């Protein structure tokens, strides 16, 4: 959510930003906000004048009573009462104006960084850099579910019977590999100075509205029936919510946290849910990174965060690239975002395995997360990034480590989490 002072002073910049995000239907909201703000401030000024008049009139009542002018004192009391009624009516109007302003401000997109490429959707995202050499082996690589099935490692049929499409049972060595990757991701981030956290997996609507836009919530979040609780789509939601309504000590910034959680998503939209596979699913697990920092440090942390994901994948010798998200692909609260994509030898292309974003002070402003600085209070900046999110990550892992004989190589960093194994051996052909 933008600062109302910024909108007042820069309405054309706000409109231009809306155009850059190809959301022209939101352009009228800016003028509506300005008009409502004008009415709100006029009402507030009138109310302040009436309060001053009431105070002045109230002072005369005592003097009139002392002078024995009872009738005049009663008339003054009646006038004070009427002024009070007018003030209450104005206060009700002010609340109404504020609610209408907030409703519109909540859907006006955040100002994107000048470096963000302009484009309508993810097809216009821009490759930034590649890390590692993509390799296509001289043998056929099966679909990832087929690879898992050679290890008796996945059961989609049972999951469909218990839960429907978009769910899975991971079994045996594949399930162990899934856990090993998460454990390695946890320790990788701890070694980089992040504090490990396991957060709540459900959050209240107040937090949901603070960390994401309404359209994202509708397409992602599962609501708990009869409760003011939602299942989290990522631990960023509850981790940023951890600071709701707090005034942070500037000397304690930045907060650098890495959190584990299961994640639950409707996945409503164009992509749909695969009946076969674990690329786009309703339930997965993730190791996340979250930073709460001073505004002047946010771009430095943005670059550190995506680099952490690149380094994590490269430590397992998986080729990756970074992709700058264009303006039309940015969620409304985001200032700048990039995806980390891993190489798929089977498809001979990259696919997304992580997303890094800086949201400026948008989440902090919505949630009331302020910093007590040397020159006064200000809103913190928040950032998030995926370290690793299996089972999707298993796709690139299995494809890049599959050998011609059907075994899967275990990279050195994972072996301690796999009981010392250096490879997985198929249990069936």
224-239: average pLDDT: 95
pLDDT of residue 227 exceeding 70: yes
Sequence-separated contacts (24+) of 399-403 with Cβ below 8 Å: 399/141, 399/144, 399/147, 399/344, 399/345, 399/346, 400/135, 400/317, 400/318, 400/319, 400/342, 400/343, 400/345, 402/137, 402/141, 402/147
398-411: average pLDDT: 97
Instruction: Please state, rounded to an integer, the average pLDDT across all residues of the chain.
Output: 94
pLDDT classification of 13: cutoffs 50, 70, 90: very high
pLDDT of residue 156 exceeding 60: yes
Q: Which residues does 161 contact at the CB level (< 8 Å), separation at least 6?
A: none
| HEC assignment per residue over 359-414 | CCCHHHHHHCCEEEECCEEEECEEEEEEEECCCHHHHHHHHHHECCCCCEECCHHH
Residue 274's pLDDT is: 57
Ranges 37-46, 58-67, 116-125, 292-301: which has the least confidence: 58-67
The more confident residue out of 77 and 406 is 406
Q: Within 10 A of 425 (CB to CB), how many other CB atoms are there?
A: 12
Assigned architecture for domain 4-105: Orthogonal Bundle (1.10)
Q: What is the C-alpha to C-alpha distance for residues 101 and 405, in angstroms, rounded to an integer?
A: 64
Residue 58's pLDDT is: 85
pLDDT of residue 270 exceeding 80: no
Residues for the chain: how many in total? 429
Residue 67's pLDDT is: 84
DSSP for residue 333: T
Q: Which residues does 318 contact at the CB level (< 8 Å), separation at least 6?
A: 132, 342, 343, 396, 397, 400
pLDDT of residue 269 exceeding 80: no
Pick the CATH number of 122-424 from 3.40.605.10, 2.60.40.10, 1.10.540.10, 3.30.930.10: 3.30.930.10
Q: Which residues does 420 contact at the CB level (< 8 Å), separation at least 6?
A: none
Q: Whose CA is closest to 356, among 192, 208, 234, 206?
A: 234
For strand 247-249 and strand 370-373, is the pairing parallel, antiparallel, or unpaired?
Answer: parallel
Q: Whose CA is closest to 328, among 13, 105, 19?
A: 19
Q: Which residues does 403 contact at the CB level (< 8 Å), separation at least 6?
A: 409, 423
**Residue-wise pLDDT tens digits, 271-286:** 555 557 898 899 999 9
- 168-206 per-residue burial string, b: 16 or more CB within 10 A, e: under 16: bebbebbbbbbebbbbbbbbbbeebebeebebbbbbbee
249-268: average pLDDT: 93
Q: What is the C-alpha to C-alpha distance for residues 406 and 85, in angstroms, rounded to an integer?
A: 81
The phi, psi pair for 302, rounded to 5°, reads: -55, -45
The more confident residue out of 36 and 63 is 36
Beta-bridged to residue 373, according to DSSP, are 376
Please classify residue 92 by burial: count the beta carbons closer than 10 Å to its beta carbon, then call 0-12 exposed, 13-18 middle and 19+ buried.
exposed
Residue 268's pLDDT is: 54
- Tokens 């090993």 belong to 180
Ranges 80-89, 186-195, 315-324: which has the least confidence: 80-89
Residue 345's pLDDT is: 96
For the chain, percent of residues with pLDDT exceeding 70: 98
User: Taking a C-beta distance cutoff of 8 angstroms, is the pair 108, 320 a contact?
Assistant: no
User: What are the sequence ranges of the domains in the chain?
Assistant: 4-105, 122-424
**Residue-wise pLDDT tens digits, 161-197:** 999 988 999 999 999 999 999 999 999 999 999 999 9
Q: What is the C-alpha to C-alpha distance for residues 146 and 277, in angstroms, rounded to an integer?
A: 9
For the chain, percent of residues with pLDDT exceeding 90: 86
pLDDT of residue 112 exceeding 80: yes
133-148: average pLDDT: 95
Residue 250's pLDDT is: 97
Q: What is the C-alpha to C-alpha distance for residues 169 and 340, in angstroms, rounded to an integer?
A: 26
Q: How many CA atoms, within 13 angstroms, populate the side-chain half-sphere of residue 188?
A: 27
User: What is the secondary structure of 86-112 as a DSSP string?
Assistant: HHHHHHHHHHHHHHHHHHHHTTSPPPP
Listed in order, strand segments (DSSP E) in 137-254 are 154-155, 169-170, 195-197, 202-203, 222-223, 230-231, 247-249
Residue 76's pLDDT is: 84
Q: What is the C-alpha to C-alpha distance for residues 213 and 333, in angstroms, rounded to an integer?
A: 7
Give, to the nearest 10 degrees, the angle between helix 298-314 and helix 172-191: 140
What the block records as the tokens of 233 is: 């789509």
pLDDT classification of 116: cutoffs 50, 70, 90: very high
The SS3 of residue 245 is coil
120-131: average pLDDT: 97
């Amino acid at each position: 959510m933008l600062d109302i002072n910024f909108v007042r002073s820069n309405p054309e910049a706000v409109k231009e930003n809306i155009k850059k995000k190809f959301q022209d239907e939101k352009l009228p909201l800016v003028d509506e906000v300005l008009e409502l703000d004008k009415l709100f401030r006029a009402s507030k000024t009138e109310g302040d004048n009436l309060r001053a008049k009431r105070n002045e009139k109230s002072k005369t009542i005592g003097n009139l009573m002392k002078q024995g002018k009872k009738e005049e004192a009663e008339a003054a009391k009646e006038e004070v009462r009427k002024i009070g009624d007018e003030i209450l009516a104005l206060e009700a109007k002010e609340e109404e104006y504020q609610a209408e302003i907030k409703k519109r401000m909540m859907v006006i997109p955040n100002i994107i960084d000048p470096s963000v490429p302009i484009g309508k959707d993810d097809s216009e995202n821009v490759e930034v850099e590649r890390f590692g050499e993509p390799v296509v082996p001289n043998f056929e690589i099966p679909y990832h579910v087929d690879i898992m099935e050679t290890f008796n490692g996945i059961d989609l049929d049972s999951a469909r019977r218990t839960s429907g499409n978009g769910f899975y049972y991971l079994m045996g060595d594949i399930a162990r590999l899934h856990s090993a990757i998460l454990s390695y991701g946890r320790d990788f981030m701890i070694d980089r100075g992040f504090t490990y956290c396991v957060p709540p997996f459900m959050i209240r609507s107040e937090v949901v509205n603070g960390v994401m836009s309404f359209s994202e919530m509708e397409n992602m979040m599962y609501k708990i029936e009869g409760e003011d609780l939602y299942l989290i789509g990522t631990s960023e939601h509850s981790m940023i919510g951890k600071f709701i309504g707090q005034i942070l000590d500037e000397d304690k910034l930045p907060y650098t946290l890495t959190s584990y959680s299961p994640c639950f998503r409707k996945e409503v939209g164009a992509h749909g849910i695969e009946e076969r596979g674990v690329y786009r699913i309703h339930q997965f697990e993730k190791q996340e990174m979250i930073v709460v920092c001073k505004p002047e440090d946010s771009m430095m942390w943005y670059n550190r965060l995506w680099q952490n994901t690149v380094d994590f994948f490269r430590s397992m010798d998986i080729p990756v690239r970074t992709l700058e998200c264009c303006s039309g692909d940015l969620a409304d609260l985001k200032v700048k975002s990039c995806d980390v994509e891993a190489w798929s030898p089977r498809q001979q292309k990259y696919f997304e395995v992580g997303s890094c974003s800086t949201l400026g002070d948008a989440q902090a402003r919505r949630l009331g997360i302020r910093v007590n600085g040397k020159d006064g209070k200000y809103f913190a900046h928040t950032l998030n990034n995926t370290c690793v999110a299996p089972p999707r990550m298993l796709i690139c892992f299995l494809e890049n480590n599959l050998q011609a004989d059907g075994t899967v190589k275990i990279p050195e960093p994972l072996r301690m989490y796999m009981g010392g194994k250096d490879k997985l051996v198929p249990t069936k052909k």
